[in-house]
Each structure stands twice: as C-alpha cells, then as structure tokens.
Structure 1
Amino acid sequence: MRKHWQTCGYMHREEHVVDIFFDSGVLLDLRRRVLKFIMLNTYHPYARIYFRSHLQRRREHIRHLTVSSHTIHPFSYFNLYWESMISLMYCISCALFFVNCMYSWNTTVQVDLGRSLLAIESLFIFDSILRFFVGYYDSELNKTVLRRKDIAKHYLKGYFIIDQLPCFITYLYPLRSYKSSICLEIVKWSRLMCLVRIFRLRRIMETYDIIKIRLLPNYHGTIIKTSLVLYIVLMVSYAVILVTENFLEYTYYGTKRWKVFNVFRFYTITLKLLTVGYTGTIEAGQVAMQVASLISLTWGYYVYMVTLIWALKLWMYHSHTRLGADCLYREFQQYVQYEDLPRNIRSKCFKLFSFKFHTHYYKERTIDRTISLTLKRQIQITVTRQQLEKVDFFRDVPASILMKLFAKCKSEIFLTNDVIVLAGSPGHFMYFINFGTVAVYSPSGREICHLEDGAHIGEIAFIFDEVQQTTVVAVAPCEMFKLKKADYDKVLDKHPDVKQLIVKRATQRWNEYKKKAQ
C-alpha cells in the first residue's frame, strides 16, 4: 500500500470477491456458490502454504475472475475432491484389470468385467477433458497458471497421450457389436493399454500428500504411502505376468484353461512374483509356458529389487528428515513443559511453530552456516527489497544505500492478537508487513483502519525520534520485517544529504496526515 494512511480503512469483514463481481443476474446465489467452489479455498492445504495472507488470497481471487472466471483453480474445493476421487478410481481400475486378466481371453466373464472397466474409463475420459479447464501451479514462476491456452499447452506436452492410451478400450467399444474377427482382435488388444496408467502414479502420490497434510499424522502417512505404492506395483506386476501367460496361451495353444477365477493360478503367480519358483507341471513340449515362467520369474526378481531399493530409500529419507523434525518438536515441547507455561501461552507457542514451518521443518541456523555470507545477503535483500521500495520517502534514495538498509532488516512473526506497536512507546523500530493483516487503534482504543501486505508501520515516530501515536495489533498471523533505529542511523549518518531528504519527505507526509485527521 503506497499511501496506506489514505487507503487503509475497512472497518468490518470484507465481502467475498465473488459477491462484488456478481451482484445481479439470473440464479445469482447458485452462480456465486459454483464460483466459490472452483476458486482458491483455504480448505485446500496448499492454499495456506502458497497464499499465506488474506490479501494474497484476495488478489488471487480477483486475478482468477479477471483472467479466466471459468477455469478451475488448482487449490479449489472442487479440485481437492475431484483429485481424491480420481485417485481412488485409479486404484479400483488396477484391481479390476488384475481380476480381468485372471481369466483366459475370449471368455464370457470378461465381458461383464469389461463393462465395469468401461464405466471407470468413461470417468477418466471426462477427467482428460476437464484437464483443459483446471489450472496448475508453476513452481518456477511461483504462480498459478489460469489461462486456458497455457493450460492446454502444458497438458498436451505432458500427460495427454498417457491419459488417452488407456481410454482406447472405451473409444473402440462400439466395435464389439461387429462380428468381424479383425474388430474383435483390435478390441482385445486395446485392453493392454491400461498398463500405461502406471505412469500416472505421481498424480496419485501428489493427491495422497495433500490428504496427508490435512488428515494424517506423519508416521501413519509414511506407512500408508508405502502400502499404496506396493499395492499399485503388485497389481501391475500381476497383470503383466497374467497378460504374458494369456497371450502365449491364446497364440500358441488356442485353449481356455481359466474360465473361472482360480485361486491356484493366483498362488502360482505369487510364487513367480516372489521369485520362489514355479509350482505345477509343464510338459517338455510346452515351450511357450516355459518362456512365460522364465519371464515371470525375471519380472518378479526385478520388481522385488526395485521395490526393496525404493522402500529403503523412502524409509531412510523419512527417518532422516522426520527424525530431525521430531527432535525439534520434542525439544519445543520439553521447553514449554519445563517453563510451566499457562495453557493459553502453550497454545500460542505451538501455533507459532505450526505457522512458521507448515509441516516442512528446517533448521535455519544450519542453513545460515552452510550458505556463504554473500548469498545470505542476496537472499535477504531480495526478500525485503520490495517492502522498502514501497515507502514513499525512500523512493529516491540511492540503490547502494537501500541495499545496506535491506541487509539490516530482520524477519519477525506475530500471531493473532499480538501487540506489535503500543501507543506511547519509543519509536525504536519500523515494521514492513510481508504478509498478514494488522489493526491500527488510536490511544483511546478506537479502531482506525486495517493494514495488509506491503504496508509499513511506525515510520513517523521512527524518523523523528518520537513516541508511537497508535497501537497496532495483529488481526491474523503476520510475518514482518523489522528495521532498527540504530541500524538506520548507522547507515544514513554517513549520508547526511540523503537523511535530510528522508526527513523532509516524512515531514510533508506527517503534515498531510494531521490535516486529514482534523
């Protein structure tokens, strides 16, 4: 807020952006509810991670409505539920495909299972169409992409082909009505395209991570994630072995040995998959079945080794990262208990811990010791630069001096109802709101206004060495940059002309404010 004394001032809870943009028309309430359902929603775990303040979320709502109001936001209520349902359908389709492969080809039972798969595949077709209307988060640009043209390019270059190949069985379903052997062969072989869906495992894992942040404890989450990956790998592995046997049986023998679901076949496949061996008799002339057994044993050994390596890597990663995080959290708990803090103070401590890390724990001191001093200053300057440049009386200050001021700013977190500035206290600090919302009160306790991201606090008392004229209280959790008066004087005492320019502009601003207050 470039002129925050002039622009600050919502005295009550603001209306939702949708209610302002759409204030008339047919089915107004329904349209508003639908739009809120597809827009950024704080119920989505990533919404509070990437858009941490009320103002950031409000700006994202406005950008969504102005850029493309019919695009579904990736961090919306709708997308959260849809991704959860699609991930569940992926798991169910793996199980159905496995059961379908347990029967020999050309059996009548396969038709019924095929219809079950057809229903799920129809849902996947709708999902592939929906991908052209759902935005995505670009981690390189640190922003959500909502334009349909950019969304279409991203999807076509990415997973479009992988999503379409398994749906061939649905596209070719009308060919079943023809009695032509060629048509039936095409339909039969199109079923194998379902195996391509293994490349969408990443989507299932990303959805699981979102649900885990929302619902699951960390140790439960690791166990469930490992079980989920093993389930999918096993289903695909069973399907690969069964498809190989069915193909050889159909091509070289033309028999239908598996007309019903046979537990013994499942048992023999499991032995092969576990690389234990083969149980049963194979005649010397059945070269095809010998080849199938060798392929199955080799595939089982490969899956066994890959799964073992992946599981060890996963557990080592989680045990290493979570061990450090759990130790940090336990130390925090022990500190709170040792100090015998009241319940309300304990609650604030844990809220601060949760707000700062958002379940992504790190040791700031370790990182500071690792990176160079030059890089550390560049990071700090990059983070604080935008905030200081918004202050009017710093506008024409040379960049070299501003760089020194940037390096002196320190980050500080305030929780809801924390007093940031108290009226009558010395103006030793000036604050810049990185994100969050604060309320400004007069010495008598009257609420003057609210300030949000980009605003600055206490600049008049800071510049003129006076006491603070207002009390500032955090309305929501805030991250702020604090500049000390001593650091400010240390930098600008070497540049008296610049310091005099800042004082002159601050005096003009203060006189303007007093005139408006009268």
Structure 2
Amino acid sequence: MKKNRHLCSLTTIDSNGLPRLAPNVKWYRKLARNVWKLFLVNSNHFMCKRLFRNKSSILAEKRRHANSPYFLVIHPLSLLYSILEVMFFVMWMYAFVCESMLMMDFHNIHLGFELVHYNIVIPSRVILVALLFNAGYIDNKSKEIVIQPRIIICRYLKTYFFFDFLTTYWLFLIVKLMIRNKILVGSQIFIFRCEEGSEIVCLSACCVRIYTMLNFMENTLSNLGLGKITRFVLLCLVKTFLYIHIFACLVFFVPYLIYANKFPPESWLSHAKTEQFTSFFQLYFECFLVASSYFFGVSERHAITLFSEQICMVLISFVGRLYTLFLLADVLNMLGIAGVSESKYERQMSVLHQYMAAKNLPEGLRRRMLKYFEFKHQGRFFKENEIIDSLSETLRTELFLFAANKLIRKVDVFRKLPTSTLGAIIAMMKSEIYSPGDVIVKCGAELNDLFFISSGTVAVVNKRGVELCHLEDGEDFATSSFIMQRQLYAVTAVETTEVFFMDKNEFLKFLEPHPEVKAEFYRSYQEKLAKLKVLENTATADSIDLMSELQKGHILEKLTRRPRVKAN
C-alpha cells in the first residue's frame, strides 16, 4: 500500500512542527531542542484525540505554544506534565498513606526513614509545588488550554497552593525550630503534642488533594492505553482504599489525642490489646479492619462503648452507606445509559472486523478502513441524520455554524456574511472523509465544486508531481475552476481529512446580495492562485538548477584513480 502513503517533500519543519536544525549544529543545541520538546504537546497524549481531531490541529497547537512568549510554560498535554502527574501521585500517596501509618508510632520512627523523609521526600515535594506555578491547565468549562503564567499563578494561589505548601512540612519544621531554640517551652507532654499536632495538620492537608490524585492516576492509566472498564475498576479500588484509610487513622487518632496513649478499659483499643503489638503495621491493620467493618456494615469487630468512639463509628457508617450508593450508581451509569453509544460503536467495530476478515482484505486496506471509521465516529455511534432532522430550523442552523466554526474563523468571506446566509451556505454543503494518500482533486479534471477543509491536511501538487504546499483546517482549494474548467493542480490528503464542498454557482448565488464580499472573494482566490504559481516557478527553477549542476559534475564527486594494492 505504498501508493497510499504520502511522502512529503516539504522539509522546512520537523515532525514536532518546529523549524529544523542544521545538520552540523552543536550538541548542546540538540540537547536544548530535545529538552524543549518535553514542554510542548505530546501527540501521543490521550487527550489529544479528544481536543484535536487531526495531526494538523496538534501541530498548530505546538506552534502556538512554541512561538508564544510562554514557550517555557509546561503544556498540560506535554510529556513533562505527564511525568509531573506521576510524581505528584507518588509523592502525595506516600504522604497520605505511609506517613500517616508511621504517625501511629510517632516517637519510635526509624532514623533511616527520617533521613529519607527530610533529604529526599520533602525537597521533591517543594520542587513539585514550585513547578505547578509553571504548569498550564485545561479549563473544564470552555475546554481551552491556558498557558499564560499570570492566569496560572493566580489560579494556583486561589485554589490549592496553601494546602500543597502545608504538605511540605514547613509548619512541623517551624515547631521543631522553636523547640530547639527554646521559643516554645513547656512540659515534655506539651512538646510532644505540639510536634504531633503540627504533623497531623500537614497530613490532613493531603486529604484536599484526593480527587486530584485520582484524576492524575486516571490520566496516567489512559496514557498507558488501559481500557475504560480497567481504569474504572482500578480507580474504584484506590478510592475505596483511601476512604477506609482515612477512617482507619480516625479511629486511632481520636482516642489517642483525647487520652494521650493511656486508653481507658472501655476503649476498643484496650479490648484489642494494642499495647501488645510489636509494630505499627499490626496496629494499622487492626484499625483498618475496624474501619472496614463499619464502612461496609459487615460486622462489629469490637464493642464500642465510649461516646467519642461511637461518634466516629456512626460517621464511618454514614459515609460508607453514601459511598456504596454512589459507587453503585457509577457502575450502573457506566454499564447502562452512558455506555449505549460506546457499546453500539464497539458492535459496529466488531462487525467491521468480521467483514474485513470474511473478504480477506489486505492489511494496508484494513488499517485505512479502521482509521476512517475511528475518525468519522470518534468512539461514538449514533444516527446523526435522525438527530438533525428532529431539530428546529434555528437549532439546525446553529448546529451547522458550530460544526463549521474553523471555516468561519479562517475564511474572511464567511466572517463578513450575515448569520442567516452563512447558515444556508453551510446547510447546502456536503461532506466527505478522505484517507491518507487519497487523491481528492486530479490535475486536469473538470470540476464545478469548491472545496473547504473542515479538519485535516492536504498537499497541493502540480502536473509534474512537484509538491508545492500544504493546506490545513479552514482553507479552500480547487479555486482554479472559477477561471478555467480544468484544474491546474492536484490535491492529495496527507492525513485523514474531512472536506466540505458545494457547487461554485450555488456559492456565487449566495454572494450576489453582497457585492463587496463577492469582490473580495474573487481577489482572495486570485491571490492564492498567484502564490501557487510563484511556488511552482520556484520549484521548477530549483529542479532545473539541480539538473544543470548534476550535468556539470559540480555536485557528485569526480572519479579519482587510486593505486591498486597487491596482496602479499
């Protein structure tokens, strides 16, 4: 299937949409370029398929970021941001789980743990907090990508910065410093309580970031290519564990803070004989079992008689029932109504695979058919015509205008037309999807249609087969039909491309009531044809110069006669 593969001869940019470096560039320039690529959009990021429909849109976003004054801001779809998400999840999970477990035996913490904690964990957490000031984000409402530093900093300061800063243990370190300098004085028990209280505050700040951790975990699993059901199961397991872990710490720390490790005989900690446990892990495991039993309402592991402990167990039982109901609703929502379009899509994909296997189609054709199906339906399967026919005329016009938003933004003529005229033009257009390598317009063909690119990239080629340029979202082609009947240039799809087209005479009828717009349209397509002619002349001159240099022998090395070496 090599004939369907587009071999681009335009080499002014690399695969990342950046200007190519010279072959003899210094090593540190290459290193700086590779580091810079970590800040830019990663085309393999799972969100790229949701936010951008084709490669040209991804490259346009890369160029927008690279050419902006904020080119060193970490893009939310970059590889570096994905690494930050993994590091954030690991660091906050460590603080949330491991450090709280060790707090149960606060005064017997191993020296090796303290060295790792203060020399590695805390500095890493400080670096992460600092990097979040330079990390862009995706607005949840508008789905716009924000990379302006001022907006990023203000948003972070207003939301999570204070809680993230608490997790760096600055409060605990201040208390330790005050104790060491004898600013904070009192009894030994009071000093211990201050140390414990400051660390509990730092650990409590991690609870604010639970859903951020789960969101980062889901993003990481999606980038690894795991399926929707697998991600859902793993997220539910982690979420359930975190909630039970919070209550396991609660059932221990509430009596501990009240009775200062001298539990009365009525306490469940006395019934469990926790003073006989040899490690903090045994104590944590016992607390985890008690919290689990009340969270799920399975059984009562110990008799709860103290009022403070009863309040804790009532709270755990109440939250556990609510969580179970919400979890069940999520399961039904995923497998039920929300999964109808996905299940139809999967059934259609299965039918397509069976059809291709029955027809014994070649591998290359199978890949093209699969890409076409994926591009057209975008993971959903529904009857679009039935939905559109059920809408009112006003809603239908608004829908057409929204679908052609890129055309309207990039084509000057459309921006100057009234909404009613523009909606009528879009409604008259037909659409077609082309796979990479498909010839959309042949050179010399007789056409009466005008084409607009909805999404994708096409290559313009002259009659000698020389590639002149690429056209992307919102641009038009086949405008030479306004001057002559036959097309001057061929147009080939570089990637999966959706094209809108309509009869040129029908298009001109819509422009008749607007003579200024019509005159500007004629002027614009004449300018485009003139640019293509300049590109064609330049490409022809370059090829002639190359042939003459080859004929003169200035490019290839001249043959030299070397002495023949005889074997001994």
Settle same-fold status: TM greater than 0.5. yes
1:37-436, aligned counterparts within 5 Å? 37-65=38-66, 66-103=68-105, 107-109=107-109, 118=118, 119-168=120-169, 171-172=173-174, 173-174=176-177, 177=180, 180=185, 181=188, 182-193=190-201, 194-214=203-223, 215-250=225-260, 257=275, 260-261=279-280, 263=282, 266-267=285-286, 269-275=288-294, 276=298, 278-279=300-301, 290-320=306-336, 321-338=338-355, 340-341=358-359, 342=361, 343-359=363-379, 364-365=384-385, 367-368=387-388, 371-384=391-404, 387=407, 390-391=410-411, 400-436=420-456
Equivalent position SS for 2:167: helix
d(CA) in 1 for partners of 2:141, 2:302: 56
Q: Structure 1 residues 515 and 420 mapped into 2: Cα distance closer, same or farther (>3 Å)?
A: closer
Note closer, same or farther for the CA distance 1:277–1:399 as it changes in structure 2 (3 Å cut). Answer: closer
Q: 1:409, 1:482 within 8 Å by CA — same for their partners in 2? A: yes
Offset, 1:192: 1.7
Change (3 A) 1:260 1:438: same
- Taking the aligned partners of 1:497 and 1:476, their CA distance within structure 2 comes to 36
Alignment root-mean-square deviation, CA: 3.9
The offset of 1:281, in angstroms, is 7.0
Query: Structure 1 length normalisation: TM-score?
Result: 0.82
Are 1:33 and 2:34 matched, yes or no? Answer: yes
- Contact kept in structure 2, 1:272 and 1:278, CA below 8 Å: no
CA change 1:503–1:291 in 2 (3 A) is: closer
Q: Show CA shifts across 1:226-254 (max 9, x none).
A: 11211222222211222113213317659
SS of 2:343 mapped into structure 1: helix
Question: Partners of 1:292 and 1:369 in 2: how far apart?
Answer: 63
Percent identical pairs in the alignment equals: 21
Measure how far apart 1:152 and its partner are: 0.6
Q: SS state of the match for residue 155, structure 1?
A: helix
- 1-structure distance, mates of 2:235, 2:29: 42
Instruction: State which drifts further: 145-154 or 24-33.
Output: 24-33
Higher relative contact order (CA 8 A, sep 6+): 1
Q: How many residues align?
A: 500
- Contact persistence 1:273–1:296 (CA under 8 A): no
Equivalent residue for 2:468, pick from 448, 470, 480: 448
Report the counterpart of residue 11 of structure 1 in structure 2: 10
Unaligned 5+ segments in structure 1 are 1-8, 283-288
For residues 511 and 281 of structure 1, the distance between their equivalents in structure 2, rounded to whole angstroms, comes to 87
The 3 A distance-change label for structure 1 pair 372 and 397 is: closer
User: TM-score of the superposition, structure 2-length normalised?
Assistant: 0.75
Tell me, in whole angstroms, the C-alpha distance in 1 between the residues paired with 2:257 and 2:453.
66
Q: Find the aligned partners of 2:383 and 2:219 in 1 and give their Cα distance.
A: 23
- Helix, strand or coil for the counterpart of 1:74? coil
Unaligned stretches of 5+ in structure 2? Answer: 1-7, 265-269, 538-568
Larger C-alpha radius of gyration, 1 or 2? 2
Rounded Cα–Cα distance in structure 2 between residues aligned with 1:262 and 1:512: 78
Give me the whole-angstrom Cα distance separating, in 2, the residues matched to 1:417 and 1:30.
Answer: 34
Task: Kindly state the Cα deviation for residue 155 of structure 1 after the two structures are TM-superposed.
Answer: 0.4
| 1:497–1:330 Cα change, 3 Å | same
Displacement of 1:178 in angstroms is: 6.0
- Classify the secondary structure of the residue corresponding to 1:480: strand
Q: CA offsets, 1:330-362, max 9 Å, x none?
A: 123214524644143332222123334554666
Map 1:464-475 to 2 at 5 A: 466-475=485-494
